[in-house]
Amino acid sequence: MLLLLLLLTALSFSQEALTRVGLQSARVVLERGKEYYLKLTGGSKLTCADCHGPDGESLKGAYARMPRFYTDLGRVADADLRVLSCLRQYLRLEDERLKSRERELVVPLVGFVASLSNGELVFVELRHPEEKRLYELGRTVWYRRSGATDFSCALCHERLAGKQFFAEVLPAPIPDRAPARYPAYSVKRDELLTLEDKLRDCFERYLLYDPKKGRFSFESRVRKPPYYVEELIALELFLMHSVNGSTLSVPGVIK
Amino acid sequence: MRLLLLLILLLACQPKKPKEEYATFPQFLKRPQETVTPELFRRAFFLDDEAQKLCSSEALTEDILKRVKELSSNFPKLDGYLGDWRKGEQLALTPELYKRLYGKPGGSKKGLCYACHCADPRVDECGDVGPSLYRYAEKGVKPEELFKRIYNPWAFSPCSAMPRFGHHGLLTAEEVTHLVAYLLSPESPVNGGKP
């Protein structure tokens, strides 16, 4: 009966239904993030809530200003790296426990943290010298042609934006203000993707050279950058800064 | 049909239950180790390729374009530039497109042509980044000229969106001759031939 009702609803709004189902799944992940936030503990016996407040009071608006420089880390961090660092340094989750399911913990927590900034305007500043350096690095990576395909982010997302690439239309993430909708739920992949996840995936299209052979090879394992690498955080900083002033609205829903 | 699709969709999109409770961490659940270090990634990404570096400039000046053209003038000398169009078709079509056309395995991951070009009219999932190559033979381009155009497009259109297939070894010189035939042979479906 319930299923029939669901089906009928879905039939009448098939397009919206997709978004709705995506949003619903995204909320489940965010709920899980909240649960981790309140209950997960490691060697220090502290929870996230012990330091940042039971409802994450001290984190409201934080996501809208990330990536930024953190004195306790001595480097610029995006939300993913910031959360991972708190898991490591402050919860003192052992490496053994983190290794196998690092992203399974980080992604829902980033989703929850980001949702605390919903409605805020993106406001990424370039004050610290490291923030300025990473902004320039992000810009360099955005325009850098690379790999066996000679692609660059800017080639697909500026010069060719709006064109058809196989069956997909090349999006224009900066004018579309796409970064302000991440973390976003991918309906096709049935998982929540942080901005870092999404940018990292786009590197697959470069068909990067095999660094060991010094030429292109289909066998190469180097397809994407490793998580939290400076170049990824720099790209995020560059993109978020480029959409300063947009209203943060997460979780987004993508194909 | 639509109903069935939606049903599948709904089932597939059921919110996933978290796999484990937050407090327990089964030790057996291990992902393969990430072996790509930042250094390896940097070496793979920041290639020491002068033309690529020049084309990364935000403002592509006349000087840059001229220099990139100069840097793109090395081509292998071959006895003939017209290969086998059927082999060219195998290279141009991705495995998915090939399967859709012929119902059997074939095609190649090197075949990015349809990402940016339409050509064989039976393929409707094709890009419009580059011009349509349908009935390309009518343009009257010589095989050697076309070989160069595919082997290294930057010799003609510096910093173009089209990858330098031969330059990078994404396609061998011989493979490029097969693509030349795919675009020029009157039997090729690109030129209205019946496969």
| Beta-carbon contacts of residue B147 (< 8 Å; ≥ 6 apart) | B75, B78, B81, B176, B177, B180
Of A18, A209, A229, the CB nearest to B38: A229
A19 touches chain B (CB under 8 A): no
Rounded to an integer, what distance in angstroms lies between the CA atom of residue A202 and that of residue A163? 17
pLDDT tens for each residue of B96-152: 999 999 999 999 988 799 999 999 999 999 999 999 999 999 999 999 999 999 999
Q: At what angle do helices B143-151 and B173-184 cross, to 10 degrees?
A: 120
The average pLDDT across B171-195 equals 96
User: Has A51 been annotated as catalytic?
Assistant: no
Task: Give the residue from A137, A166, A141 showing the smallest Cα distance to A153.
Answer: A141
> Which residues of chain A form beta strands (DSSP E)?
68-70, 75-77, 164-165, 168-169, 184-186, 191-193, 209-210, 215-216, 252-254
Q: Which chain A residues are closer than 8 Å to B163 by Cβ?
A: 148-151
As for the ipTM of the complex, it is 0.91
Terminal-residue alpha carbon distance, chain B: 32
A45 touches chain B (CB under 8 A): no
Rg, chain A, Cα only: 19
Q: Which chain B residues are closer than 8 Å to A10 by Cβ?
A: 6, 9-10
Rounded to an integer, what distance in angstroms lies between the CA atom of residue B122 and that of residue A46? 62
Long-range contacts of B62-67 (CB under 8 A, 24+ apart): B64/B158, B64/B159, B65/B158, B65/B159, B66/B158
Q: Are A164 and A233 in contact (CB under 8 A)?
A: no
Q: Which chain B residues are closer than 8 Å to A151 by Cβ?
A: 163
- Domain A18-115 matches domain A129-254 at the CATH topology level: yes
Which one-letter DSSP state was computed for residue A214?
Answer: T
Q: Are A160 and B129 in contact (CB under 8 A)?
A: yes
A226 Cα to chain B: minimum distance (Å): 6
A160 Cα to chain B: minimum distance (Å): 7
Scanning every residue of chain A, which has its alpha carbon at the shortest distance from the alpha carbon of B47? A146
Topology (CATH) of A18-115: Cytochrome Bc1 Complex; Chain D, domain 2 (1.10.760)
Q: Which chain B residues are closer than 8 Å to A101 by Cβ?
A: 25, 29, 31
Of A7, A14, A24, the CB nearest to B7: A7
Q: Do A148 and B163 touch (CB under 8 A)?
A: yes
B89 Cα to chain A: minimum distance (Å): 17
pTM, two decimal places: 0.91
B50 Cα to chain A: minimum distance (Å): 11
Q: Which chain A residues are closer than 8 Å to B128 by Cβ?
A: 163-164
CA distances from A14 to A27, A162, A191, A245, B15 (A): 20, 25, 20, 32, 18
Q: What is the largest CA-CA distance in chain B?
A: 70
CA distances from B17 to A101, A106, A191, B20 (A): 16, 17, 12, 9
Q: For the CA atoms of A47, A50, A52, A57, what is the dihedral angle to 10 degrees?
A: 120
Q: Do B30 and A32 touch (CB under 8 A)?
A: no
Q: Which chain B residues are closer than 8 Å to A155 by Cβ?
A: 161
| Domain boundaries defined on chain A | 18-115, 129-254
Rounded to an integer, what distance in angstroms lies between the CA atom of residue A82 and that of residue A36? 15
Phi, psi of B25 (to 5 degrees): -125, 90
Q: Do B15 and A28 touch (CB under 8 A)?
A: yes
Scanning every residue of chain B, which has its alpha carbon at the shortest distance from the alpha carbon of A226? B36
Q: Do A7 and B10 touch (CB under 8 A)?
A: yes
Which one-letter DSSP state was computed for residue A90?
Answer: I
pLDDT tens for each residue of B8-45: 544 444 444 333 333 222 223 333 444 899 999 999 99
Q: A129-254 — its CATH code?
A: 1.10.760.10
**Which of A145, A158, A203 to mutate against chain B (most B CBs within 10 Å)?**
A145
CATH class of the domain defined by B71-191: mainly alpha
Q: Do A206 and B45 touch (CB under 8 A)?
A: yes
- Tens of pLDDT along chain A (255 residues) come to 566 556 555 555 566 888 888 999 999 999 999 999 999 999 999 999 999 999 999 999 999 999 999 999 999 999 999 999 999 999 999 888 888 789 999 999 999 999 999 999 999 999 999 999 999 999 999 999 999 999 999 999 999 999 999 999 999 999 999 999 999 999 999 999 999 999 999 999 999 999 999 999 988 999 999 999 999 999 999 999 999 999 999 999 999
* Four-residue CA torsion sign, B70, B74, B80, B81: negative
Residue B159 is encoded by which pair of tokens?
A: 């910093």
A162 touches chain B (CB under 8 A): no
